[in-house]
Amino acid sequence: MSLVTEYANDGKQFIIYISGHFDFSRVQEFRNAYEGMAPSVRQVIIDFRATDHIDSSGLGMLLNMRKSLMPEQRRFHLVNCRPNVRKVFDISRFDKLFVID
């Protein structure tokens, strides 16, 4: 399975694990992952430990998710980034919009 979700911390955290390539082919799958998220969620975590590649489509999906979920007071974390994925986030200045761990 290339995308897995789970709730943690008594439903206050929502985690999306992405494996493989995070590109245009994942648009609908990614959108489906966070649509209908429980209102109790205060922290959205995207775990990139198994992500080999991210392109501009992946960046766009993250921005769309953030915009879609922003009316609520939520924090967004991008975690466990491999060096090549982290480099894309650094170049794109995503640290201004997301917490990157």
The answer to whether the beta carbons of residues 46 and 78 sit under 8 Å apart is: yes
Q: Say if strands 13-22 and 3-8 run parallel, antiparallel, or are unpaired.
A: antiparallel
The domain in which residue 21 lies consists of 3-100
pLDDT digits (tens, 9 = 90+) for 33-56: 999 899 999 999 999 999 999 999
CATH number at residue 23: 3.30.750.24
In this prediction the pTM is: 0.93
Separation of alpha carbons 99 and 33, rounded Å: 20
Q: 3-22: per-residue pLDDT in tens? A: 999 999 999 999 999 999 99
Instruction: Say how many domains are in the chain.
Output: 1
The burial of 83, by beta-carbon neighbours within 10 Å (0-12 exposed, 13-18 middle, 19 or more buried), is given as: exposed
